[in-house]
Structure 1
Amino acid sequence: MSAQPPDGAPSPDSFASVFDVYEVRRDDGRVLYFGDPETDRETLMETVWPAFRERGYEVRLARRTGELVLVAEPHDAADDGGVPWTNVALFVATIASTLFVGANWYYVDPFSPEVVQALPFTVAVVGVLAVHEFGHYAMSRYHDVDASLPYFIPFPSLFGTMGAVIRMRGRIPSRKALFDIGAAGPLAGLVAAVAVSAVGLLLPPVTVPPEIVNSASAVEVQFAYPPLLQAIAAVLGEPLSYSDPSKSISPVVMGGWIGMFVTFLNLIPVGQLDGGHVLRSLVGEHADRVAPLVPTALFALAGYQWFVADAGDTAGIWVVWGVIATVITFAGGVDPVDDSSLDARRVAVGVLTFVLGALCFMPVPIEIVG
């Protein structure tokens, strides 16, 4: 217990105008400043954050035993320089799950050496997701925002994964940083998705075994193709489907399809989604007025698909995302420390990002026909 912080930590005098410190403690690497606020919480944090960040600390306002305290933690405390075993394990598990599922796309036994034929599918899917997340990671590092390496999510579903995420810690310093971090993932992932789609379309089709083609009990999964993927196929002069039921497009194309669908979903403009970050950067606090409209639009889309377009159970995906968007909306978005408006160049890129996201939209992405 002391009246002064350790060497390197900000002096209470540097922010005395907004927080009157009466006690300083050290707590397992953290520095705790107990005191009384002299202004509202938002102004307080906007004032103290730069002083702590300059000295290499992340700071937050908390309450302990009934007292208000600024909790300062070294900015690099979470980076211990060790091997990120959790990230590695999840990545390996995702490689395995996409390889296992990919074997079905190539009509080979996943428990035989032939499973290596599914490697192009695995590389396409995992590669697109990795580029998306490393876009976020690179911009986080550029703006000195503490971010984890990607956590891949293995899942033995239709694609073998439920995507990937990174975890960010601490405050976002500015709207500029929030925009760069939010937009970098979808834009980088979309570039990868376009490249993967083009490669997949140029690859020869996969041959469907006769016993599946002629089976009366076979279940067919039909995919809609977003306008962007259709445009790529038109430019290359390659088909997205074949009249011959014994031929199927290369599963590598599905890596691009997944990338585009993930881009659209991530650009839904609510809360902590990439679209929420981009919208918050573009319009500031006005984003809070837009966010509640998004779940309504998704539920309306589901209703249209169900009652008007007669899409049946496939409309349920928009019900699910309406619920997700509702939860994310109530969870709230990110408020950057510096809320200054973006420059014109970033505004233009932001608008383009949403336009590209719209080109990845499919009213009924997947339909199962049995």
Structure 2
Amino acid sequence: MTLPAPDRRTRRPVQISTAIPSRPALRIGRVSLVWRGRHVAVCGLLAAAAFLLLCVSLGRGDYPLSVPQVLEVLVGGGERLDRFIVLDLRLPRSVGALVVGAALAVAGAITQSLSRNPLASPDILGITAGAGAAAVALIVVTSGGSIVGFLAGLGLPLAALTGGLLTAFVIYLLAWRNGVEGFRLVLIGIGANAMLIALTNWMLVSADINDVARAQVWLTGSLNGAAWSQVAPAALALAVIGTWTLIAGTTVGALRLGDDTARSLGIRLHTQQGLLLAAACALAGIATAAAGPIGFVALAAPQLAVRLVRADGPPIIASALTGAVLVAGSDLIARTVLPVALPVGLVTSALGGPFLLYLLVRSNRKVSI
């Protein structure tokens, strides 16, 4: 589009181009997509890094295997002992690291998009703490013969999911005032997180020492003893909810622009906010049930993906791959690099703490300017 503008010397109108450069479109039949070359390249590199970390993790242990040996086993070959070690002993843990990291990252990308705040994530808002409190109640109370409401009949994964959803519902109601504003949501979530952590500590203090030991190992966020019974539900939830989130990508992008803009685009604001928040809580709750509360992955992975892709908001696929790389790499460091094997949650917290301080300082500078 061009607009006429007067020339100062001749007083004649000249044509000034105001055309906005657009991204090339990719058309496949009736489907039309926007081609983002950098996004595709970054996702490809992240996927390759995740697969490489998977192969390295499968080969590290008391019985070491090289990456070619691991690849041979994964394609159906290899010796019988190698297949047993890779497929039966190590694969559930390694796949669990990728699935849990991706689920937490997608949950963080959704909450940060809804609140339009980079500090909003399930572990900061108290959703992970709610899932952890419900799971700890199931561990330390029901084992002594008592029953905590209906949690005893649900099992650990459903108990953690129920705790996360209930916490998110309460936080959403408390933050509601003719809509949900990101800053108020974060403040209320921080308060709820502190109260739920205090409740969890009270249950640990008053419980039997053996139950406390079990719960404490789980609370640090550990993939030790991961089995397919824990990994499979998290993988299924990630596939279903992640696919739905990708389909709703246009809605997520509109919600980043503000409530008024989303309404003007024909989006049912409160309905979509509730559905997306429920999806984020489901992913965070199931990931917490599978590996315990692994801190700072949901906070850091979407923001790292934003910087890698150079997008306006947290991209879903890039965030999921970044989270998978973070958890898989942290688990590899916790198992093999450090002198003593540590839970993966301690490594992610050590790496995520400085990143949280960076986000706080950056946000404070933006407000000051």
Per the TM superposition, whether the score is higher than 0.5 is no
Structure 1 or 2, whichever has the larger Rg, is 1
- Higher percent of residues as strand: 1
Higher RCO structure, 1 or 2 (CA under 8 Å, sep 6+)? 2
TM-score by length of 1: 0.24
